[in-house]
Amino acid sequence: MPIEILPGLRLEDDELKVTYILASGPGGQNVNKVATAAQLRFDAARSPSLSDRIRTRLIELAGSRATQNGEIIITGRRFRTQQRNREDVIERLAEMIRKAAHRPIFRVATRPGRAARQRRLDGKSHRASIKRNRKVRLDD
């Protein structure tokens, strides 16, 4: 069953490889016997579902979770069951892809105008005069 990331962007199940490993954390004595932590591997560099722009931004966002081959590895061990950890890592990958697909708004750097600078300086001098008038002067 494909995973819907965004409208028009979905990942097929065969692109994701989920394995289970021993987890630390909650689980009591069971933690030493049952492999409940989920480790998701997604080959972003060779995924046919992603565009080039999303692929490069996704690998950049993944940081240390991405290998040199462009494979993203996410480990989930927050929950006690394999199923919940599996859902968790898939959702974390989907959120990362959504973040990579979002185009940041281009911002043009501007400087404050002359009037804004003058208002700032007037405010500073006004505060300075208020503080200056608080002083108690003792004339001899």
Q: pLDDT tens-digit profile of 39-82?
A: 999 988 888 888 888 888 888 888 888 888 888 999 988 888 88
pLDDT at 26: 61
Q: In terms of pTM, does the model score above 0.85?
A: no
The yes/no answer on whether domain 3-101 falls in CATH 3.30.70.2190 is no
In order of 10, 12, 46, 53, 65, the CA distances from 49 in angstroms are: 7, 8, 9, 12, 20
Residues 6+ apart with CB under 8 A from 88: 38, 76, 78, 79
Task: Give percent of the chain above pLDDT 90.
Answer: 26
**Rounded CA separation 56/30 (Å):** 40
Domain coordinates in residue numbering, the chain: 3-101
Tokens of 20: 């289970």
Whole-angstrom Cα distance, residue 113 to residue 45? 46
